[in-house]
Amino acid sequence: MFTHIYYKMKVWVKRISPLYPYTFLLFSLFALLPLTSLAQSETERYRGIYDRAEQDYNIGRLEEAQQSLKDNLSDFPLGLRMSAYRMLSLCCLGLDQDDAAEEYVRMMLDENPYYSTTASDPQRFIDMVENIKVGRTATITTASSQAEQLNEVPVPTTLITQEMIQDCGARNLQEVLATYVPGMNIVDCNDDINIAMRGIYSNGQEKILIMLNGHRLNSFATNIASPDFSISLEKVKQIEVLRGPASSLYGGVSLTAVVNVITQQGADVDGVEAKAGIGSYGQIKGNLLFGKRYFDLDLLVWGSLYRAKGESVYIPREETGMQMIDGDVTIGGIGPEPSYDFGVQMKYRGLQFLYNSTSSQVISPFTMSYTFSPYTLNKYRTQNGLAPSFANISHHANLSYSGKVGNVWLKGTATYDNSDLTHYQIISEPEVSAMAKVLPVPDGIQQQLSGHGGISRYLNGQEHTIGGKLQGDWSYADNDTHRGLLTFGVEYSYFELDDVRYNFGYDFTKQAVENDSIPILGKGHESNMNGFVQMKHHWRSFILNAGLRFDYKNRYNDTKIRETSPRLALIYVQPKWNLKLSYSKAFIDAPYLYRKTNLFLANFMGFTQYAEDLDPESLYSWQFTFGATQWVPGLNFELNAFYNHARDLIVPYLIEHSNSGNINTYGLELSASYQRRRLSAHLNATWQDISHNQQAGTDYNHALNIPQLTANGVVAWQATRNLRLHTHIGFEGRQHTNYIDIITYAYYQATLSIWMDKVDELDEYLSDPDCDLEVLQKMQDEIALLRTTAQELQDKIQVNKTLPARVLFDIGASYRWRNLTLTANIKNLFNHHYSQGGMSTCLVPQRGRWMMFEIAYKF
């Protein structure tokens, strides 16, 4: 029965996937029209009541205004209710009812903890709001799967609010994380948008778990959830980031960090918000957000589009010493189809439903990492409607129900995920000659491509995953001395990759004959079962937080993975400071795609040493954290010391993958925030030292492109009642990088082959009793020259560079007039030109000065 439902669902999704963006928009339009009309009529009636109360307040009829608002407070929509709390507080202050005024301010902050006063508010009201906010601690749900204050979270955590996102002017999730999260750095791997945490990263963002309201977004085939424009920021209420391993709760993707994107509630939006933007380099942006709460039903619907032609940069060959040709590269290109993010979220009492559809598409600046050269995008044919790019169209569905059974709060969840993954790469624009032997092309296809240029590779597959989870929370102790909560659960997921296509093109528009056995080799399915338990016990000022999870995975080839992930934290909490000491161990299974790539190398290219499976990667982490709140009014800060030991990291060397990297990292992280009246500031800084130890069989240096010192500062100032200004300053220290020069490597391989042939000829000639000594000497001289040449080439295969330190400035402004908001942001204000390295690639030039102008209106 279970399998039948799974396949029915898979067929249905495949049929509607190409039409989903259009059907979604039509459905949303027709669904929202009657709801919007109803909402407008309700809002207009209560708006009239509120306006009359405000008029009474303005003419001094405080008691009449107070009574009118009290009588209708429970019926007001959220937006008006927030205004009513404020007005009631002002009325109470005018009547010298300070205790009642404070109570209404607390009720207002319960609805919106990030409420900010304006310069036109009475000073007594401003002081009251600031004083009450000072005594509050924000809460998150990601660390222990239940709401808890930041000072009780067992691991260092960064909370990024909606206001902080707006103040930093970030364009996507990657930039938000790099701005606010200590230890996170942007790395550029040419093929995808990527980010590193404490020096650990890979070809794509695959070692950090990214979730949407607790639902995993990472692909089950690649482990990647690109933090790009396919995750819109407009719908976000806050982002919760756990810094460090989190497998004890979230399993085998959360190796270095967990990022949980929390959306707004329908009641937070309370209407329709429309936004449009236009910017430099062909940027076009659109966003629509609808939210309402109807009694027990909360509804949120969002849609977002982003497109950019990208910045064209001319790259001469000598700049990096690796390209085969000169030419222009495209930086920051999205397209030709836009990235989008559509979704709907509904909550009715204990029932919750989430559906999200996204499209991610990134144009690689260079050809694939083996050749790494500029290319002309519009010369190549489209494949399945896509130009050369990395693309992923995903659908995520989540249905859950929670309720209390006795003393236990239970929650059951069913999930379905579908992704269409495409890697359409350019291998080489010029004709391939000496490099042919090192390209990832089977011998039969290699003969078809010989003597041709404009060579490309197209890889496509569709994955389906269905899963279920049952979780319980049991409060086993609750008295004056002890409070204890036990969380437990079981989870199951079934993954399948099918419809695999793998072919090559040449002469820009022609297609080589496909090898039928390659797609069959790529298909497969895997299942995972796990159980976890977590205890959180309060004793006076101490908190013990311990967790354990066991994962059992059955891979496509029937090999078994058994991993245990423990966590132990001891926390000491005082009113204005806290201490945390924690240990945790996490793992991440080798991506399905990497394991299949190695199998492909073994079956079709004769690299039998890579036929064995890759092992999971592991990370052991110790962290000690000191946090302080309100030592100075408005100032909070946290200092964290960490030590990480990573084992069996998967390292690419040209085209294969192997468990060849170990990394030890220790460092200090500082994060601080200051908020007082019209000024807010956020600062973070990281110092880390990374030591690496590669096992035999690889020279690739994994611990590169990560600066030892980084710092970010964001300052925002409410200049006037309507105008808010902000700036971001980012510093990255000197970085070391190295990469493989594939051209030198190809000539090294060719020279080595000729040298070996000459040695065989010499051995055969020596067996001839009539050999000529002069000819023999000449052959020996040729062999010596080839050996010298091969040694010289081998020494040049690894290219080492040092990137200088850099400081980047971003500025922005937002002007709000009634329901209209105008925003302008300029990234890299001084147009600083710099490059960034990544995993197994040469240096990639980064964006220069980019600008975006947006207009938003709230209905």
Query: 698 pLDDT exceeds 50?
Result: no
Report pLDDT for 695.
42
Question: Residue length, the chain?
Answer: 859
> Which tokens go with 180?
């606010």
Q: Coil, strand, or helix at residue 3?
A: helix
Letter for the amino acid at 748?
Y
Query: How does pLDDT run across 731-777, given as a tens digit for each residue?
Result: 999 988 876 666 677 677 778 878 888 888 877 777 777 777 777 78
In this prediction, residue 701 has a pLDDT band, given cuts at 50, 70 and 90, of: very low
Report pLDDT for 149.
80
In this prediction, residue 586 has a pLDDT band, given cuts at 50, 70 and 90, of: very high
* SS3 track for 445-510: HHHHHCCCCCEEEEEEEEEEEEEEEEEEEEEEEECCCEEEEEEEEEEEEEEEEEEEEEEEEECCCE
Dist. CA 735–CA 838, nearest whole Å: 11
Report pLDDT for 477.
87
Report pLDDT for 815.
96
Which stretch of DSSP H or E encloses residue 444? helix 443-449
| 212 within 8 A of 411, measured Cβ to Cβ | no
As a whole number, mean pLDDT of residues 5-21 equals 51
Strands 820-827 and 327-331: unpaired
**Dihedral, 327, 331, 335, 341 alpha carbons, nearest 10:** 170
Query: 519 pLDDT exceeds 90?
Result: no
In this prediction, residue 256 has a pLDDT band, given cuts at 50, 70 and 90, of: very high
Angle at CA of residue 42, ends 39 and 44, nearest 5°:
105
DSSP 203: S
For 820: left if phi > 0, alpha if psi spans -120 to 50, otherwise beta; the answer is: beta
Q: Tell me the DSSP string of 353-406.
A: EEEEEEEEEE--SSS-TTT-----GGGSPPBTTB-SEEEEEEEEEEEEEEEEET
Which stretch of DSSP H or E encloses residue 649? strand 635-653
Query: 2 pLDDT exceeds 50?
Result: no
As a whole number, mean pLDDT of residues 217-236 equals 92
Phi, psi (rounded to 5 degrees) for 60: 90, 5
Q: Which of 195-199, 245-249, 790-794 has the lowest mean pLDDT?
A: 790-794
Report pLDDT for 608.
53
In this prediction, residue 208 has a pLDDT band, given cuts at 50, 70 and 90, of: very high
Query: 478 pLDDT exceeds 90?
Result: no
Looking from the CA of 700 toward its CB, the CA atoms found within 13 Å total 26
Tell me the angle at which helices 78-94 and 62-72 cross, rounded to the nearest 10 degrees: 150
Report pLDDT for 841.
66
Give the list of residues 6+ apart from residue 272 with CB closer than 8 angstroms, or none. 32, 36, 288, 289, 290, 858, 859
Give the list of residues 6+ apart from residue 575 with CB closer than 8 angstroms, or none. none
As a whole number, mean pLDDT of residues 143-168 equals 86
Report pLDDT for 702.
46
Predicted structure pTM score: 0.85
| Radius of gyration for the alpha carbons in the chain, expressed in angstroms and rounded | 30
Letter for the amino acid at 380?
Y
| 242 within 8 A of 177, measured Cβ to Cβ | no
Q: Which of 96-105, 556-565, 653-662 has the lowest mean pLDDT?
A: 653-662
Report pLDDT for 654.
61
Query: How does pLDDT run across 310-326, given as a tens digit for each residue?
Result: 999 988 766 554 555 67
In this prediction, residue 98 has a pLDDT band, given cuts at 50, 70 and 90, of: confident
| Stronger pLDDT, 17 or 575, i.e. the higher one | 575
Dist. CA 848–CA 859, nearest whole Å: 36
As a whole number, mean pLDDT of residues 257-261 equals 94
Q: Which of 146-155, 204-213, 376-385, 416-425 has the lowest mean pLDDT?
A: 146-155
Query: 282 pLDDT exceeds 50?
Result: yes
Query: 419 pLDDT exceeds 50?
Result: yes
Q: Which of 22-26, 355-359, 463-467, 702-706 has the lowest mean pLDDT?
A: 22-26
> Which tokens go with 805?
């330190």
Report pLDDT for 22.
47
In this prediction, residue 334 has a pLDDT band, given cuts at 50, 70 and 90, of: confident
Please count the other Cβ atoms lying within 10 Å of the Cβ belonging to residue 219.
25
Which stretch of DSSP H or E encloses residue 422? strand 408-428
